[in-house]
Structure 1
Amino acid sequence: MSTTRTQGDVKMGANLVPGGVTFRLWAPSAQNVYVLTGAQLQAAEQSGFQPGPDSAMFSLGDGSWSAYVAGLGEGTPYRFWVKGTGSTGLKRDPRARELGTAPAYPVCDCIIRDVARFPWHDEDFRAPAFNDLILYQLHIGTYYAVDPQGQDKRRTIGKFLDLLDRIEYLSDLGINGVQFMPVQEYPSETSRGYNGLDLYSPEIDYQVEDRQELLRYLNKANGLLAACGKPPLTPDQLSAGQDQLKCVVDLFHLKGIAVLFDLVFNHAGPGFNDQCFKFLDRQQYGDDNRSLYFTDQTWVGGNIFAYWNQDVRQFLIDNVKQCVEEYHIDGVRYDEVTVIDANGGGRFCQDVSSTARAEKPQAIQIAEYWGGDRAAAIRSAPGGLGFDAAWSDKVRLGIRTAVQQAGGGYDASVDMRALLGCLYRPDGFDAAWRAVNMLEDHDVVFAGRDLRMARLADTTDARSWFARSRARLAMGLLMAAPGIPQIFMGQEILEDKQWSDDINFHADLLIWWDGLGVDAVMKDYHSFCRDVIHLRATLRGLRGDSMNAWVTNEQDRVIAIHRWINLVGEDVLFVANLQETNRYGYRVGFPSGGRWREIFNSDFYDGFPNPQVVGNDGSIVVEGGEGWNGMPASAAITLPANGFVVFCR
């Protein structure tokens, strides 16, 4: 098949058009570019290979090359052959929608994919409002995977489709958003995903290749679709890697759960190989400033993108658009935006956030930004980077510090004022939901770093009463605090081990899901998390902007949080006791008098259901004429040790 010149505006990458496929590659310093398919592609790895003129691409005069090949279609393998001033050889398409597995990575082919081949069922899905989000962060390769006999198979790396076994579990948990750690192709055998090299292609190791194994997953998918009243998929509709990821997103949507991708635009690599997009136009090696997409500046072993270059910026922006348009995602977490901003990428941040917002306004743009002026991440251009929300460490540091201090025992000093201060929105944040709060995340509790909450709460015994009660209290504070709460995989079952993506050397750190069946403490904590998450989702006051919090007495270790919605009400009062003893007749201020219902008590989940719960028998009568803690009314209440109670009208 021979190439011919393209007509009109041609999209970058490989795209199906009537009668064939158009190809376009940005390679401004290349001397010649060819697109190889069929017999030429099979021969390209042989010594002395030279592409024929019938595979030549044509310069468009703007630094890019294009060609049309008639007769090509869905599933066709291809690669580019680039002749440059420094070298000549094969290159993968940086915008390839999928990579092949024979030959194996990194000398693999790119696969032409029809973006419309997957039959979506999510037309009625609407993502939650930003202030209603409750997020769950997970790593696909290590999260959950079982074989046909129900045995754990994560030591062979979990797949996209293994998430089908956890969709109903996560729906029952009550979260309404999942944030996948990076799903794009990375060069190493195992990875957290932050060293990607093929940003438009789903990770090969997360895909199911075996046809018989795929049928097992197909049955799972069709069972979930049938339960939602949707038509089944065919084997062909689930055979492509891109469609396996789309199927997962589709089914999460059918269960009312938004999906966020984690995109890494601060660097690529390490693990670069000759056929990747570094030195794509094959200039002379030696100076990474000639590598086309990158500068000579590095971050965590990889190269930082050349944000000064409009074509590089557009490549990254188009990647976000691809995720929104082709994968129907509902938001993006942008990894380490601090690095982007510090390396000349402030304008890029403004462009990518505004473009994504124009593409899908209801898709939340979340920045991981640790600069001195944290609010710069969420301020509008020109003074800020323009993202909707940003990760915040304020709540995490405050609550974890208080829990750690309380671990010193009854007489230990706990800085309650610092705990109080961490609950208020960060400086410069004009709305509570703009801060994404968590107690654990993929960085904090990674192997060799900080302890998971259960172990932090009691370093000697992660199953003790001290550990489980303090962990419940910490989770309660997270759900009561203004902002978007996010939990990390396994946190909801009181997993006490740190985590690692390296299943070869750290298989002992995989989440112990079997504990839900045999460990009463894990089962109880899971019940607690499910109910406190549902509490957050049910009470509008907990999801609004308004908060007034106070420490009744620093030595008593009691803190109260009043949440409400301005001009509406929906008042909620959360009262926590960080001391190891129960408190009876403890006076606390209330926003108004009358009967208040005790709708949640963390002590109920210790030995769930706890037959001897320390609480207020379901309600109290608040004295309207007796102010306390700066509030117009008050009541003497009972507080469980290392616990909290929640009241509403």
Structure 2
Amino acid sequence: MPASLKHIHPDTPMGATLVAGGATFRCWAPHAKAVYVVGDFNHRVRNDAALLTRDQQGHWRGFFPGVKDRQRYMFYVVGEGSEGLKRDPYARELESPFPAECLIRHTDFPWHESGYVTPPFHEFVIYQLHVGTFFTPNLPHKGGTFLDVARKLPYLADLGVTALQLMPIQEFQTSFSLGYNGTDYFSPEMDFAVADAELPAYVEEVNKLLDAKGVRRYQAADLRGEMNQLKALVDLAHLHGLAVLLDVVYNHAGGEFGDQSVYFFDRQDAAGGQWNSLYFTDRGHAGGLVFDFSKPEVRDFLIQNAKFFLSEYRIDGFRYDQVSVIDHDGAPDGWRFCQDLTSTVHAQRPATLHHAEYWDVNPFIVAPPPVGAGFDTTLTDGLRIAIRDVISSASAPDERPLHMTRLAQSLWPEGFSESWRFVQGPENHDIVYNGREPRIARLGDPDHPRSWFARSRARVATGLSLTAPGIPMLFMGQEFLEDKQWSDDFVSHRDLLLYWAGLDRGDRQMLDHLRFIRELLALRRLLPALRARGFRTTHVHDQNRVLAFHRWVEGEGHDVMVILHLANFTRVGYQVGLPGEGSWREVFNSDVYENWVNAGVAGNNGRVVATAQPLHGFGYSAGVVLPANSILMFAR
């Protein structure tokens, strides 16, 4: 007889689920002739007792008594084209090393109920990182892990960012990866986990973080496996006041698949082409295959994945990779999938951030259904392109005009009604990857990325991002003047890892830049205008290399004036329009951070006085000292 149907009902979860007395198993394999479950609990014997029962929708399901937490299992699928083992597409954890069997898992992590609340979207400041290369204290033995990131949480909280955006953490099959070639969507990457034998030292380290917060310690058993270690990272991040966003890839899967993956899961005849692969179309993207969004089961697989990370891991939001591929290569069903995805997950937790990457930038991606796709925010490239162009041009050994007008036009992309609807920043993982574009410090002075020219221009570029409209995003290392490109291959390109040793050794230039970022982010929190909708470019001059803009809170005021200056000399008495008469405090001057505290700082002695001389659309103006390569802020 086939496996029992005890505990089986229409809402039985997909995959393997522990229940009273055993576990239920369910998978979708509509064209399979037979599907078995083999594992520790039945000695991997493929017989009638291991056979699942098919329903009318092509789901195979059954109940197996005596199944326990962390036991191993696989599906054995007999199809029209082949037969053999398959990993559960919904497996929560995989045995190490890869490829290996699935582990049935019970939800047993001891969360700290800290009362953390995901911040409002306009308060987000995102820090993007790659788990495997962000902090790597155990090289050459092992790359970075979830718990290594956790050890840097006090540093990141002190920096002033509010959200960590982890590059994709789902299981991938290659030795190194950016993460965009995942195949096992419910299982965290095993290379990002610390092995049981190496846990004691890590338990001691993370418990120091808990001691500092005055809360209960972890036991070693709490942190076994990649599933609980990722949960620990989220738990600890929340204790430090940081949201966690996952970068998910719902447009395609693979790169490499392997015979036991979701690829051709029901083992149809491969001679029929990629359309027989069940979950995918014949359209390729980034070395893998685009999902078949015409099938309700495929759409549900991806939506359930998002819901799973929200409920199981308490994630605060998602960055969705290349939604434009879902729309274009997934037509005519991709747009509807996006609407179903955002509507469903918003209903589960309205405060979750849904951040889309879509090229070319399309404001409809953040419009609500039925017209829009329903995402909250979208990545934009206008400011990034413009500021990188200006900084690169400024590095030329002359005083040529800069495209400050184009930079001003990029500050608020067309078609967006709220400033938090778009995410911007001068660096990200794509742009500064090995062999692509330089990091900001090197862009500012290609020959000497630690020169005054490089440092001062880097302050202007990042300072603009942190004061302009939009949600700002920093890429790992940007805050301490990292000038090297990066690579996920930490073996072949160990020379491209972040220079944490410089901070540890007290590198003055790195520490000064870190202070600059930290104090500017503190000012962003203090001045509500920098997070509000009120914005207007008030003055731009290409020849003088000057840009000024006004930020305010609509209906309240709280005016702030931001002025950028990218000439290589100081201007004195430069007339700038201001929105009110009287004294304006110079609340920020980037020149202070040149060999902090800069004894020779050029500035305005803490304030300027605006008089009734109309200029730049205001009724008042003042003469301002603009330091070379600087960003200034004035407030009432």
The answer, yes or no, to whether TM exceeds 0.5 is: yes
Counterpart of 1:48?
A: none
Counterpart of 1:528?
A: 516
Give me the whole-angstrom Cα distance separating, in 1, the residues matched to 2:622 and 2:299. Answer: 59
Which of the residues 86, 89, 92 maps onto 1:94? 89
Counterpart of 2:71?
A: 76
2:58 maps to 1:67 = no
Counterpart of 2:438?
A: 451
Counterpart of 1:22?
A: 24
* TM superposition shift of 1:243: 0.5
Alignment of 1:488-503 (within 5 A): 488-503=475-490
* TM superposition shift of 1:398: 1.1
Counterpart of 1:506?
A: 493
Matched residue type, 2:165: Q
Give me the whole-angstrom Cα distance separating, in 1, the residues matched to 2:453 and 2:213. Answer: 42
Counterpart of 1:244?
A: 229
Alignment of 1:86-235 (within 5 A): 86-101=81-96, 104-106=97-99, 108-115=100-107, 117-147=108-138, 153=139, 156-211=142-197, 213-235=198-220
Counterpart of 1:544?
A: 532
Matched residue type, 1:567: G
CA 1:249–1:349 in 2, change beyond 3 Å: closer, same or farther? same
Counterpart of 1:332?
A: 318
Matched residue type, 1:272: F
Give me the whole-angstrom Cα distance separating, in 1, the residues matched to 2:537 and 2:350. Answer: 33
Q: Is the 8 A contact 2:41 2:67 kept in 1?
A: no
* TM superposition shift of 1:259: 0.3
CA 1:41–1:444 in 2, change beyond 3 Å: closer, same or farther? farther
Give me the whole-angstrom Cα distance separating, in 1, the residues matched to 2:84 and 2:194. Answer: 30
Matched residue type, 2:105: R
Matched residue type, 1:188: T
**RMSD between aligned residues:** 1.4
Give me the whole-angstrom Cα distance separating, in 2, the residues matched to 1:436 and 1:644. Answer: 21
* TM superposition shift of 1:17: 1.1
Counterpart of 1:5?
A: 5
Secondary structure of 1:563 counterpart: strand
Give me the whole-angstrom Cα distance separating, in 1, the residues matched to 2:593 and 2:397. Answer: 22
Secondary structure of 1:127 counterpart: coil
TM-score (norm 2): 0.97
Give me the whole-angstrom Cα distance separating, in 2, the residues matched to 1:39 and 1:542. Answer: 59
Give me the whole-angstrom Cα distance separating, in 2, the residues matched to 1:36 and 1:391. Answer: 44
* TM superposition shift of 1:552: 4.6
Give me the whole-angstrom Cα distance separating, in 1, the residues matched to 2:493 and 2:44. Answer: 39
* TM superposition shift of 1:164: 2.0
Secondary structure of 1:156 counterpart: coil
Matched residue type, 1:351: D
Secondary structure of 1:514 counterpart: helix
Give the length in aligned residue pairs.
629
Which of the residues 259, 274, 297 maps onto 2:259? 274
Gaps of 5+ in 2: none
Secondary structure of 2:408 counterpart: helix
Alignment of 1:454-469 (within 5 A): 454-469=441-456
Counterpart of 2:300?
A: 314
Which of the residues 345, 353, 367 maps onto 1:364? 353
Counterpart of 2:462?
A: 475
Secondary structure of 1:311 counterpart: helix
Q: Deviations over 1:100-139 (max 9, x none)?
A: 02xx322x11111112x00111440011110110000000
* TM superposition shift of 1:550: 2.9
Give me the whole-angstrom Cα distance separating, in 1, the residues matched to 2:458 and 2:285. Answer: 35
Give me the whole-angstrom Cα distance separating, in 2, the residues matched to 1:35 and 1:247. Answer: 31
Counterpart of 1:47?
A: none
Gaps of 5+ in 1: 44-50, 148-152
* TM superposition shift of 1:446: 0.6
Q: Is the 8 A contact 1:41 1:79 kept in 2?
A: no
CA 1:154–1:580 in 2, change beyond 3 Å: closer, same or farther? farther
* TM superposition shift of 1:52: 1.1
* TM superposition shift of 1:520: 1.8
Counterpart of 2:336?
A: 347
TM-score (norm 1): 0.95
* TM superposition shift of 1:154: 6.3
Counterpart of 1:574?
A: 562
Q: Deviations over 1:189-217 (max 9, x none)?
A: 01000000000000011111132x20111
Secondary structure of 2:93 counterpart: coil
Give me the whole-angstrom Cα distance separating, in 2, the residues matched to 1:82 and 1:32. Answer: 6
Matched residue type, 1:360: R
Matched residue type, 1:364: L
2:607 maps to 1:619 = yes
Matched residue type, 1:361: P
Give me the whole-angstrom Cα distance separating, in 1, the residues matched to 2:113 and 2:437. Answer: 39
Secondary structure of 1:268 counterpart: strand
* TM superposition shift of 1:272: 0.8
Give me the whole-angstrom Cα distance separating, in 1, the residues matched to 2:420 and 2:140. Answer: 35
Aligned structure 1 segments of 4 or more residues deviating by more than 6 angstroms? none
Q: Deviations over 1:10-58 (max 9, x none)?
A: 1111111111111101111111111111275557xxxxxxx11111111
Counterpart of 1:46?
A: none
Matched residue type, 1:314: D
Counterpart of 1:295?
A: 281
Give me the whole-angstrom Cα distance separating, in 2, the residues matched to 1:589 and 1:540. Answer: 21
CA 1:262–1:317 in 2, change beyond 3 Å: closer, same or farther? same
* TM superposition shift of 1:155: 6.4
Give me the whole-angstrom Cα distance separating, in 2, the residues matched to 1:626 and 1:527. Answer: 37
Give me the whole-angstrom Cα distance separating, in 2, the residues matched to 1:550 and 1:271. Answer: 52
Matched residue type, 1:575: I
Q: Is the 8 A contact 2:433 2:486 kept in 1?
A: yes
Q: Is the 8 A contact 1:155 1:503 kept in 2?
A: no
Matched residue type, 2:421: R
2:409 maps to 1:409 = no
Matched residue type, 1:305: F
Residue identity (%): 44
Give me the whole-angstrom Cα distance separating, in 2, the residues matched to 1:596 and 1:328. Answer: 44
Q: Deviations over 1:54-96 (max 9, x none)?
A: 1111112211011111111211111111111111110000000
* TM superposition shift of 1:553: 3.3
Give me the whole-angstrom Cα distance separating, in 1, the residues matched to 2:114 and 2:624. Answer: 49
Q: Deviations over 1:120-176 (max 9, x none)?
A: 1144001111011000000000000224xxxxx266211111012210000110000
Give me the whole-angstrom Cα distance separating, in 1, the residues matched to 2:309 and 2:140. Answer: 26
Counterpart of 1:610?
A: 598
